[in-house]
Structure 1
Amino acid sequence: MIIIVDERMDVSDAYRSSFGREGVSTASFKPVDFEGWFHSASGPDLTAVEAFVLGDFDLRENFARSIRARSEIPSIALNDQAGLESVLKLYAAGVDDVVRKPVHAREIIARIGAIRRRAMPEQRFTDIDGLRIFSDGRDPEIHGVTLVLPRRERRILEYLAANQMRRVSRTQIFNAVYGLFDEEVEESVVESHISKLRKKLRLGLGHDPIDTKRYLGYQLVTRAAAAA
C-alpha cells in the first residue's frame, strides 16, 4: 500500500485512481490527518506500507523527518515547481527521492522499487526448496523458471517470504495486499488468493510450502518442516 499525503483531495484522488489502474492499493490523507494517524499507527500497520508520497504542502520537511525517525519506509516528495533550495531541504530532511510533477504512477512505482532495492541489496530474494521469491516486484522462479503470478498472489508470496520466521494472520496479509482502509473488499478474499497460489506452487514444487494453522495464521515453510 502507498500512502499519499496532500492538501488537495482532487490531486490525491487522481493519484489513487492512477495507482489503482496499476493494481497498487493506496490510502490518502490531508497533512493534518496524516500526522495523527502516523504517530498512532502500530508496527503491524506500518508493515503494510510500501512508501509515502508527499505532495507539495507546508511542513512537508517535518513530516519527512518524522517518517525517517520512525521507519525505513521510502518517501517520495512531489514538487509542483522546480527549485534547487527546496529540493536540497527535502533531501536533508530525509526523503529518498524528489520528483517534478506531472509524473505517471508507473514511474513512482518504479522509483519506489529502486529505492527498496538499494536499501536491501542483501535481501533481494529468498530461496526455499527450489522456489526463489524476489523482494523487488519480480515474479518468483521455480527451479529457475519464472512463475507468472497476478499481482495480489505475488504480493502475498513476497509478504510471507519477508515474514518467514513467524506466522502472519489473514488480517496482516490483507492489510499488506489491499491496504488498511479498503472497505470495498472482504478480508476473506485472502483465502481465495492463497488457495490459487498454493495450487500453482504445489504444481511446480511437488509440495505445498504454505503452512496454515487455525487461529495462528500462515507461514512459508520448507518441505522438511511441512512433512514433520
Structure 2
Amino acid sequence: MRALLIEPDDGIAAAIGRQLDGADVAHHRAVAAALDDAMLAPGREFDAYDAVIIGSMEDAGGFVAALRNHGVRTIVLCLIDRRCTATTVELLRAGADDVIVKPVASAEIRARIEATRRRVHGFTTNAVRAGRLTVFLDGRDPEVDGERLRLSQREHAILGVLALNHRRVVSKECIYEAVYGLSGADPIDKVIDVYICKLRKKIAGSTGGGKYIETVYGRGYKFEAPADAAGTVAGRASHAVSAVPGRGSLLHAADR
C-alpha cells in the first residue's frame, strides 16, 4: 500500500511518516513548492497511490475540490488538528473520503484506507471468496479451503489488485502502476507476465489445477473462479449471497 503525503510542516510530516511506516504504508511526501503543479496535474499522476493524505495546509477543502475537478479518483484522507464539525463537513463536501483528527495511530490510518477502498469498490467484507480461494483485502495471505497460501510480497499485491476488481478485466498497465508505482524500470509486459505465471502455478498447485486468473487477450487479466468451482461468492454488496464468517467490516485498485 502506498500513500502520497501532503504536509508542509517538516516535523508533522516526519511524525505522520513514522505512523505510516508502522502500518507498512509506503509513502512519498509532496513538497510545498510542488503543490500547485500537483493540483493541476492529470488524475493519472495519482494513480500510483492508494491514498492521498492531506495534512496542515491552507484551504485544504479547495485543494481537495481541485483534485476531484481534475479527475483524481484516488482515496483522499484529510488530517485536522482538532475536532470541528464545520471543517469536517467542508472537506467531505469538497470530495474527501474521510477526515481524521490528529494525532493518528498507524493501525487506524491503514484501517481507514482499507475500509474506504473496500467501500469504493462495493465490498461488504474484508475478503473476496471465489470458489475454493479466499483473498483478503487487509494484508493477510490468501487461503485455499482455510489453509494459508504463501505468496511473495509482489505476488500478494498483484492478486490483491485482481481480487479487488473481481470479475473485471484489469490491464497490465493498471496492475503495474498499482504494484510498482513510479519505481519500476523493467518492461511492463515481462514483469507482470512473470508474476502472473507464478501466481497461477501456486494457485493451481493448491486447488488441484484450478484456473482462477484468465488472460483476456489484448486487454489484461481477470480474476474469477473456474466454471466448475462450487460456491463462488464475492464479497461485494451486489453479490451478497453470503459473507466470509468472522471477517467483520473493511485494496487500487485499481480499475483506474
TM-score, structure 2 as length reference: 0.65
- Confirm or deny: 8 A CA contact 1:198 1:210 kept in the other structure: yes
Q: 2:169 maps to what in 1?
A: 166
SS of the residue 1:56 aligns to: coil
The code of the aligned residue for 2:65 comes to: R
Distance 1:13 1:149, change over 3 A: farther
Q: 1:177 maps to what in 2?
A: 179
Picking from 199, 202, 205, the partner of 1:203 is 205
- Confirm or deny: 8 A CA contact 1:133 1:140 kept in the other structure: yes
- Confirm or deny: 8 A CA contact 1:142 1:204 kept in the other structure: yes
Larger mean Cα displacement after TM superposition, 109-118 or 195-204: 195-204
Q: 1:50 maps to what in 2?
A: 50
Deviation of the 1:190 alpha carbon? 5.8
Distance 1:150 1:13, change over 3 A: farther
Tell whether 2:143 aligns with 1:141: yes
Q: 2:87 maps to what in 1?
A: 86
Deviation of the 1:60 alpha carbon? 0.7
- Confirm or deny: 8 A CA contact 2:20 2:106 kept in the other structure: yes
The 2-side partners of 1:195 and 1:16 are apart by: 35
SS of the residue 2:169 aligns to: coil
Distance 1:13 1:211, change over 3 A: farther
SS of the residue 1:53 aligns to: strand
Larger mean Cα displacement after TM superposition, 81-90 or 71-80: 81-90
Q: 2:240 maps to what in 1?
A: none
Q: What whole-Å deviation, never above 9, does each CA across 1:188-222 have from its counterpart, x for those lacking one?
A: 77667555544431221223534569997655465
The 2-side partners of 1:161 and 1:81 are apart by: 37
Please give the residue correspondences for 1:47-126 in structure 2 after superposition, counting only pairs within 5 Å: 47-69=47-69, 70-122=71-123, 124=125, 125-126=127-128
More helix by share: 1
Q: 1:3 maps to what in 2?
A: 4
In structure 1, runs of 5+ residues without a counterpart are none
Distance 1:123 1:111, change over 3 A: closer
The code of the aligned residue for 1:166 comes to: V
Deviation of the 1:50 alpha carbon? 1.6
The 2-side partners of 1:46 and 1:132 are apart by: 29
Task: Report which structure shows greater RCO (CA 8 Å, sep ≥6).
Answer: 2
In structure 2, runs of 5+ residues without a counterpart are 228-256
- Confirm or deny: 8 A CA contact 1:6 1:56 kept in the other structure: yes
- Confirm or deny: 8 A CA contact 1:168 1:216 kept in the other structure: yes
Distance 1:41 1:135, change over 3 A: farther
Picking from 132, 135, 142, the partner of 2:134 is 132
The code of the aligned residue for 1:25 comes to: A
Q: 2:233 maps to what in 1?
A: none
Between Structure 1 and Structure 2, how many residues are aligned? 221
- Confirm or deny: 8 A CA contact 1:67 1:73 kept in the other structure: no
The 2-side partners of 1:53 and 1:136 are apart by: 19
Q: What whole-Å deviation, never above 9, does each CA across 1:86-136 have from its counterpart, x for those lacking one?
A: 334323333232222221222111111222334444475544443233445
TM-score, structure 1 as length reference: 0.72
Q: RMSD in angstroms over aligned alpha carbons?
A: 3.7
Deviation of the 1:157 alpha carbon? 0.4
Deviation of the 1:42 alpha carbon? 4.9
What is the percent sequence identity of the aligned residues? 29
Deviation of the 1:5 alpha carbon? 0.8
Deviation of the 1:48 alpha carbon? 3.3
Distance 1:119 1:136, change over 3 A: farther
The code of the aligned residue for 1:2 comes to: A
